[in-house]
Amino acid sequence: MKGVLAGIAIAAAVAVVTAFVKPGPASSGAKPDTHRAAKAGFSDTAETVMGTLVGPPSPSFLARVRNGKMGGVVLLRNGWLSRSTAAHVTAELQQAACTRGEPLLIAVDQEGGLVRRLFWAPPTEAPAYMTSPGDAATQAAGTAAALRSVGIDVDFAPVVDTPSSIRSFLGSRAFSHSRSWNAAMARSFVGGLQENGIAATAKHFPGLGLASGNTDNGRIVIRSAAWKVRQGLTPFASAIKAGVKLVMVSTAVYTKLDPSDRPAAFSPAILNGILRQQLGFKGVTVTDSLTAPAADRIPHTAARAMLAGDDLLIFGAESASERGYATLVADASHGPRLRARLTQAAARIRALKTWLAANGGATCPAG
């Protein structure tokens, strides 16, 4: 009986998704329709900010979506996203977004192991226990199918950091302690996701393998020599060559890469100099949580991250996301350089949405 009821709930939620969000054509040649986005009333500022949910959306949250105050939503915390709940929540969100004419990016951290928001979905193994690149590709393909079935289109995975010690806080979240192995696994996991229509995210650039702890819990300063930090770039380079759509930038401080003492997510030297120019990344950069201690202490946090070269901003709590949007709007009102940066970031995000639509993701009905 429970199985029948669950099936009915899923079917109902999928029906809502189908009614308001139609899959785009299976074509890889589509170009971003920025004119349609402008007509729909979505500002460049909104495109760059992700709302944050740890449970079903409230009426006020849905009103923010309808009013064009976010371009995406990240679903946080393990355990609450059953298959039926996930399908229903994404349908509600996209229905609200489509009143403005453009779908949301909807993302989760679905790494496998300890970080697995959809407890019923792959990866069924933690990254450290994936036995081969073929295994990683299979796990990622299964993950993509599960995410697509409930209307989620971005996975904030894989972790491609290379821990330098068995005491690393990353534990089983990292594939291994070998840069070359991690490069092969990253390439396969990215391919398994993106060949099945889900955008992958290589994280946490330029690497947390040398970090003394979790950046969510304290300000982490990595004082290792630049050559040592750069060794950890190998898996990121592999993911970029594989066409990864997003790279998540850490909030650790890398003193030998940028002596300004700024966290990576606020460092043009790291974002533009290393990631864009040296590694040739052309996709969407996304911050790690801007409520992390090292980020939260920076005045005008959202604007500073955007000016440094981040495209998509995420926060650890919805109240912080709402404040971030409001302060970004205020700062952009008298900052032409920031407005130009927002336009550039929004164009990359809309291009990502177009790629997702062309690969079976969400679109809104015309008119």
- Which residues, at least 6 apart from 323, have a Cβ–Cβ distance to it below 8 Å? none
In a domain, 92, yes or no: yes
In a domain, 25, yes or no: no
Alpha-carbon distance 243 to 188, whole Å? 11
Helix (H) or strand (E) holding 50: strand 50-53
pLDDT of 334 reads: 87
Q: Return the SS3 of 154.
A: strand
In a domain, 306, yes or no: yes
Query: For 73, how many CA atoms within 13 A lie in the half-sphere containing its CB?
Result: 28
Q: Which of 200, 182, 201 is nearest to 133 (CA)?
A: 182
In a domain, 207, yes or no: yes
pLDDT of 367 reads: 60
Is there a contact between 194 and 243 (Cβ–Cβ < 8 Å)? yes
In a domain, 221, yes or no: yes
Task: State how beta strands 115-116 and 110-112 pair.
Answer: antiparallel
272-297 confidence digits (pLDDT tens): 999 999 999 999 999 999 999 999 89
User: Mean pLDDT over all residues of the chain?
Assistant: 89
In a domain, 219, yes or no: yes
Q: Is the pLDDT of residue 225 over 90?
A: yes
Alpha-carbon distance 356 to 367, whole Å? 20
pLDDT of 33 reads: 41
How many domains does the chain divide into?
1
Alpha-carbon distance 327 to 307, whole Å? 14
**DSSP conformation class of 210:** T
- Which residues, at least 6 apart from 330, have a Cβ–Cβ distance to it below 8 Å? none
Alpha-carbon distance 60 to 298, whole Å? 28
In a domain, 214, yes or no: yes
Query: Can you give the pTM of this predicted structure?
Result: 0.88
Alpha-carbon distance 367 to 354, whole Å? 18
Characterize 221-230 residue by residue with b for buried, 16 or more Cβ atoms within 10 angstroms of its Cβ, and e for exposed: ebebeeeebb
* pLDDT category of residue 6 using cuts at 50, 70 and 90: very low
Q: Is 28 exposed, middle or buried (0-12, 13-18, 19+ CB in 10 A)?
A: exposed
Task: Work out the percent of the chain whose per-residue pLDDT is above 90.
Answer: 84
User: How many CB atoms are located within 10 Å of the residue 96 CB?
Assistant: 19
Q: What is the mean pLDDT of residues 187-215?
A: 97
47-80 confidence digits (pLDDT tens): 999 999 999 999 999 999 999 999 999 999 998 9
In a domain, 141, yes or no: yes
CATH (domain of 324): 3.20.20.300
Which structural domain range is residue 280 located in? 2-20+43-358
pLDDT of 43 reads: 79
- Higher-confidence residue of 297 and 107: namely 107
* pLDDT category of residue 38 using cuts at 50, 70 and 90: very low
